[in-house]
Amino acid sequence: MADPGAGSMVPVSAGLYVGGAASCSSPASLAAAGVVAVLTVDAEEPPALPGVRSLHVRVLDEPGADLLSRLDECAAFIGAARAGGGAALVRCHAGVSRSVAVVTAYLMKTQGLGWEEAYAAVRAAKPDAEVNPGFQGQLKLYEAMGCAVDSSSALYKRYRLQMLRERYPELQDLPREVFAVDPTNMCQMPSTEVLYRCRKCRRSLFRSSSILSHVEGDGPTAFIHKRITESTQLSGGGPDKCTSYFIEPVQWMEPALLGVMEGQLLCPKCTSKLGSFSWRGEQCSCGRWVTPAFQIHKSRVDEVRTLPVGNLLTANT
């Protein structure tokens, strides 16, 4: 087996190699290994390699960098090379973190392995492999999503918000795609959706697909650092421990979110208080800490369900 140093090209399985920056220094070695495609995960785009298909994924080797969003694209690139009978090389600067994370994700997706099992397989071939903690967390999330990036899933939406918290400390420039469509801007709502309206003025606020569910906390015991009042005990001990909805940002919230870390969420029509937000996170009444948090109190909204006949709306009471 090749020397598993940063400059070498190490075989992980048939037609799949991992390596560092210097692993492409010898065109003859690439040709001998049957490499027809090179995937580079690095901050800088490398020079083109004649006769070899290439893909550059611009990602820093930092725990807060977003690699998850590119994993399906990477897997498709590697798979296309191998499907044609050739081999693929995945490389990064040192050949120990970013490239290893991508190869691990590929094994997860194509061989049905859990992230730890796939990671162990890569480390068996390359003992110096060491994926940074942030990428390890992203591989766990990739596994939880069934090894497919689903931008509509609550898991992925929460991940995106957490990435934004790291990437936009001043919060002056949020990507448009992070905001869910304002229900008032939708021509028709899917029949499977539940709509939530302001209880005071009936203005549509968000859809059920915007709710980011979380695992229930430990109730009153999670508030031992605070004075446990009767209301706290009630909110933590009833059948519905969570007295708020934690949702993704909706378009009408944008003016309130930019440039500040926390504040109130007011109805855009009647300005009644609906809840609050904090990029640092807030504690749900169930005791679970949610980060970041966009919290709407259940007592301030009504559910409205879509009826299949005539697409009429009826409010639950």
Give 220-260 as a DSSP string. GGGGTTS---HHHHHHHHSS----EEEB--BGGGHHHHTT-
Q: 193 and 300, same structural domain?
A: yes
4 in any annotated domain: no
Q: What pLDDT sits at residue 21?
A: 87
Q: 284 and 187, same structural domain?
A: yes
Asked which of 149, 184, 218 is the last residue of a domain, the reply is: 149
* Residues spanned by the domain of 30: 9-149
Q: 199 and 87, same structural domain?
A: no
Q: 57 and 183, same structural domain?
A: no
Q: 221 and 91, same structural domain?
A: no
Give the pTM.
0.76
- Number of Cβ atoms within 10 Å of the Cβ of 145: 16
Contacts of 44 (CB under 8 A, 6+ apart): none
158 in any annotated domain: no
Q: What pLDDT sits at residue 217?
A: 82
Could you tell me the mean pLDDT of each successive run of 10 residues in the chain, 317 residues long?
Answer: 57 95 88 95 90 95 94 97 95 96 98 97 96 97 95 89 73 78 79 91 95 81 46 42 95 89 95 95 94 95 72 47
Catalytic residues: 92
Q: What is the CATH number of the domain that holds 15?
A: 3.90.190.10
133 in any annotated domain: yes
Q: 188 and 142, same structural domain?
A: no
SS3 195: strand
Q: 242 and 129, same structural domain?
A: no
Query: Structural domain tally of the chain?
Result: 2
Q: 140 and 95, same structural domain?
A: yes
Q: 308 and 221, same structural domain?
A: yes
86 in any annotated domain: yes
Residues 245, 62: Cα–Cα separation, whole Å: 32
**Helices 154-167 + 133-144 axis angle, to 10:** 160
State pLDDT tens for residues 199-231. Answer: 999 999 999 999 998 888 875 554 444 443 433
